[in-house]
Amino acid sequence: MASLITCPHCGVRPKEEFSIRGDASPVRPAPGAPDNAWNAYVFLRDNPKGRIMEHWHHSAGCRRWLVVERGNAASHEVYSVTDASGYAREAAR
């Protein structure tokens, strides 16, 4: 059985239509931030167990960026899918 993702714009679609960018939690440093802040942003990532928020691109559909909350690596269960622009606005508050 194929894994399915519910795109908020296109509805239920197979996961093969999406590409994963990675963890959605890092916050981009300010343009004038020191080199060590940029190094941490670009290269250092946690690998937590449990739920994780990730950026996914619906490359074979609406071409929108989404934030997908999914479970552990064994089940790949998807808990929620939101548009990335809405997620960014909420994170900025």
Nearest CA-CA partner of 18 in 67, 80, 51: 67
- Give the whole-angstrom CA distance, residue 50 versus residue 10: 27
Nearest CA-CA partner of 5 in 71, 15, 69: 15
- Give the whole-angstrom CA distance, residue 54 versus residue 26: 10
Six token digits for residue 38: 């940029």
Domains of the chain in sequence order: 1-25+51-93 (3.30.2270.10)
pLDDT tens digit string along 4-62? 899 999 999 999 999 998 888 888 899 999 999 999 999 988 877 888 889 999 999 99
Angle, CA of 77, 80 and 86, to the nearest 5°: 150
| 89 pLDDT higher than 80 | no
